Amino acid sequence: MFWKRKPKKQEGPEATDSAAEVAVDDKAAAGATDSGTAGENPSEEKDAVAEAAEKDSGLADGSEKDPGGAEADAASTDEKTVADADADEAPADEKPVVGEGEPDADEDAEAAEADEDAEDVAAEADEPVGLFADETEEAGVTGPDPDGITRVRSVGVFEFDDEKFDVVANTWIVKADDEGVIVIDPGYDAEAVLEAVGDREIYLVACTNAYGPHIESAIKVAEEADADIALHPREMRAWRRHHGAEHRPEIEVEGQGALDIADLHIDVLALPGTSSGSVGYYIAELGVVFSGDALRKGEPGMVGNTYIDYTTQLASIGEALLSLPPDTRILPDRGPSTTSGAESKNFDSWV
């Protein structure tokens, strides 16, 4: 999958100095370069007696100030200006600013709401997918669901490579119209399947491959209902080992093919990997695919306790199953249901 990364918003340059700060700096610089020195005028010398008399006279009538008085007043004024400037530059007592350094109530509420939304999304992702998402491994019948699909679980023993494995196999019964159904991967209990079908007709018995859990009851179910059996031709050798050559499947199915049965259009998907002739059955109008043992919830399907052709199986999963709409339900041969979207998140961990 591809996505475009949204470009970050470009912010304009921010001013580092305000106009008021610049004005204060300019004023301070001007004050530092100006000098207040006054010019001095020369005077004629007087004798000591006359100077003393004039000085005494000036002090008496107040017409002349002390020569040092003006300079003292100027110095006092300059000192006051410097002191005021120092006071302005000195850091003021800091006061707490509301909303600065800690989130306010609105921000707390928004953060809490975002966390709740994330939890809700995660919870929805973990919720069971439809009626068949239960994790139980017990024989029995579940359904039908709103799409008219019923699951029959049966217990049996699967023999592979001289080993025996206890399995709980899923058989899927899909409503094709009001009169009949198709049966996908008949497992170990033909009677349970026929009982779940009831009075309806069986139009087709479709197998995803020829391992025991998928074909064990195929002949019995088909003969009881006079139905055809569908299987990929590459699975015929395994079929004959299990059922002999007396009863061959009537319909050969291959990837890119399709079946039109009653009201259903079924696309056949090639899913080699667990076997060379494994297929899946995709019904777009129901948003469901029957994946056989190619893909189960959370993992590629194993045959017994091994992978037959893991690389090919992963290619089948990625190209045929995970390319379907993400809400497509995947109904496997064993275990609970899942979706294409859910398993797409796991694919990288399988590669």
Contacts of 66 (CB under 8 A, 6+ apart): none
Q: Token digits for 145?
A: 């669901």
What is the reported pLDDT for 40? 41
Q: What pTM value is reported for the model?
A: 0.66
8 Å CB contact between 279 and 214:
no
What is the reported pLDDT for 104? 55
What is the reported pLDDT for 70? 43
Collapsed DSSP state (helix, strand, coil) of residue 195: helix
8 Å CB contact between 141 and 150:
yes
Phi-psi region of 273 (alpha: psi -120 to 50; beta: other; left: phi over 0): left
Radius of gyration of the chain (CA): 46
Strand ranges inside the chain, DSSP E: 140-142, 149-160, 163-175, 180-184, 201-206, 228-231, 251-252, 258-261, 264-270, 279-283, 288-292, 295-296, 299-300, 329-332, 338-339
CB count in 10 Å sphere of residue 143:
18
What is the reported pLDDT for 212? 96
Place of tokens 């994330």: 118
What pairing do the DSSP bridges indicate for beta strands 299-300 and 329-332? unpaired
What is the reported pLDDT for 2? 31
Q: Token digits for 151?
A: 């699951």
What is the reported pLDDT for 135? 87
- How many helices (H) and strands (E) in the chain? 11, 15
The count of residues in the chain is 351
What is the reported pLDDT for 24? 38
What is the rounded end-to-end Cα distance, in angstroms, of the chain? 15
Helix axes 218-225, 190-197, angle to 10 degrees: 40
Q: Give pLDDT tens digits along the chain (351 positions).
A: 333 233 333 343 333 333 334 343 444 433 444 434 334 443 444 344 444 444 444 434 444 444 444 444 444 444 444 444 444 444 444 444 434 444 455 555 666 565 555 555 444 444 446 899 998 889 999 999 999 999 999 999 999 999 999 999 999 999 999 999 999 999 999 999 999 999 999 999 999 999 999 999 999 999 999 999 999 999 999 999 999 988 999 999 999 999 999 999 999 999 999 999 999 999 999 999 999 999 999 999 999 999 999 999 999 999 999 999 999 999 999 999 999 999 999 999 999
Percent of residues in the chain assigned helix, strand, coil, to nearest 5: 35, 20, 40
CB count in 10 Å sphere of residue 170:
26
8 Å CB contact between 337 and 297:
yes
What is the reported pLDDT for 183? 98
Phi-psi region of 59 (alpha: psi -120 to 50; beta: other; left: phi over 0): alpha
